[in-house]
Structure 1
Amino acid sequence: MSMDLTYWKDQARGAGFSEVAALKMETLVVNPEVRKMCAANACGQYGKNWACPPGCGDLEECASALLACDCGLIVQTVAQLEDSFDFEGMAAAGSTHWENFSRLRSQIQENTEKAGDVLALAAGSCTHCKTCAYPDAPCRFPEAAASSVEAYGLLVNQLCVDNGLAYNYGEHTIAYTALFLFKG
């Protein structure tokens, strides 16, 4: 399948992302140490969410899903904060990023003839449902759920650098990063 990444880059900008770049697929390096950071459970979602480890699959399954993809986009929502302790601003930027992410993913899902199958990886744990069905029942909204970039063992700051994007945009800023990977 010949993917028109220029089209999807334009759609990503239209969805509200601040930064958009074609993803160099060779930069998708699965790192077991990143998955170990998930297991440390700093976010409180490890073992409590279908989109987080271990619910999203073991690292080998995640690596196989990445390898099945032919091309992709790396996208960011960058926001200005009042100061380093502007937690409300961070939360607002995170919400904006999730809205941008959901908007673009919906456009992709509605245009499968242009997109084919897509693996969308978000920033942070899935928050679509107030309470996840994990582990007692299947995911109620698999089309809306999203694993994080880190859940797949990918180091976000390295991905950004390797793909020509900044990870840190300077003092009093925050950047949320996501991936859209297309399977031919």
Structure 2
Amino acid sequence: MSLTGKLQKIVLFADKARERGCTTAELMLAKELAVDDRVRLKCRLNTCGNYGRNLMCPPHVPELAEAARIFNRYTFALVMQVTSPMPGTDYREVYTKLKNQFNEIITALEKDAFRQGFTLATGFSGGNCTICEICAGQEEASCCRFPEKARPSMEAFGLDVGAVCRHLGLPADFVPGEITLTGLLLLD
């Protein structure tokens, strides 16, 4: 595939992301994704309660040095967001529904990219995996029940999501009354 053809296809993935329901979709160079030890520190402090309990979270994902090497092997990153109003009640239910819908968008784009010749395309979701009510990792299993659907979060791989968003001029702050999730698709 020529570079021009490749770039045209990559730009179309941003359009496809918006068509599938993403609020925003912006391209950046993957080498600009910087792994930050402080993000993994937040994981180790278990501020979200998923450390060691979710197979898409640390310590079940690559160490930061390996994560950095992975990002450096890619050329492009499509950063996507979904935003939804958040009612005053049932936060967890609304979050889980939006999270799973976003994950479906990311995995669909990843599969589409694969079919179009981007065989190493890899998606990263926003926030911890919520596909299963109880992750197999809590049952001491070493394999995910849904590897075709589950994707690790950007944070699990040490990415400062706020810094990535600010770099692209995307919303990065928590806004009362809404939920915004950020994910990405690596393309080469």
Aligning the two structures, in what range does the TM-score lie when normalised by the shorter sequence?
Answer: 0.7 to 0.9
Instruction: Name the residue aligned to 2:183.
Output: 178
Deviations 1:51-70 (A, max 9, x none): 10010121122222212221
Q: 1:37 is matched by which residue type in structure 2?
A: K
Secondary structure of 1:42's partner? coil
Deviation at 1:91, TM superposition (A): 4.3
In the other structure, the counterpart of 2:121 is 118
C-alpha contact 1:77 1:93 (8 A) present in aligned 2: no
- Report the equivalent of 1:43: 48
Greater relative contact order (Cα < 8 A, sep 6+) = 1
With 10-19 and 132-141 compared, the bigger mean Cα shift is at: 132-141
2: CA distance, partners of 1:177 / 1:140: 24
**Which residue does the alignment assign to 2:71?**
66
More helix by share: 2
Unaligned runs of 5+ in 1: none
Shift of residue 89, structure 1, vs aligned partner: 5.2
Distance 2:167 2:109 in 1: 27
Give the TM-score of the pair, scaled to structure 2: 0.84
Alignment of 1:76-95 (within 5 A): 76-81=81-86, 86-88=88-90, 91-95=93-97
**Is 1:12 aligned to 2:17, yes or no?**
yes
Q: CA RMSD of the aligned region, Å?
A: 2.2
Identity of aligned residues (%): 27
2:168 pairs with one of 159, 163, 166? 163
Equivalent residues of 1:123, 1:176 under 8 A apart: yes
Shift of 1:87: 4.5
**Mapped pair 1:21 → 2:36:** no
Q: Does 1:151 align with 2:153?
A: no
Q: CA distance change for structure 1 residues 97 and 11 in 2, over 3 Å: closer, same or farther?
A: farther
Across the two proteins, how many residue pairs are aligned to each other? 180
Q: Distance in 2 between matches of 1:45 and 1:169?
A: 21
**Aligned equivalent of 2:133, options 125, 130, 145:** 130
User: 1:50 is paired with a residue of what secondary structure?
Assistant: coil
Structure 1 residues 89 and 107, CA, compared in 2 at 3 Å: closer, same or farther? same
Kindly indicate whether the alpha-carbon contact (under 8 Å) linking 2:77 and 2:184 is maintained by their aligned counterparts in 1: yes
Counterpart AA for 2:102: N
The TM-score with structure 1 as length reference comes to: 0.85
Deviation, 1:37, is: 0.2
The CA distance in 2 between the partners of 1:130 and 1:88, in whole Å, is 16
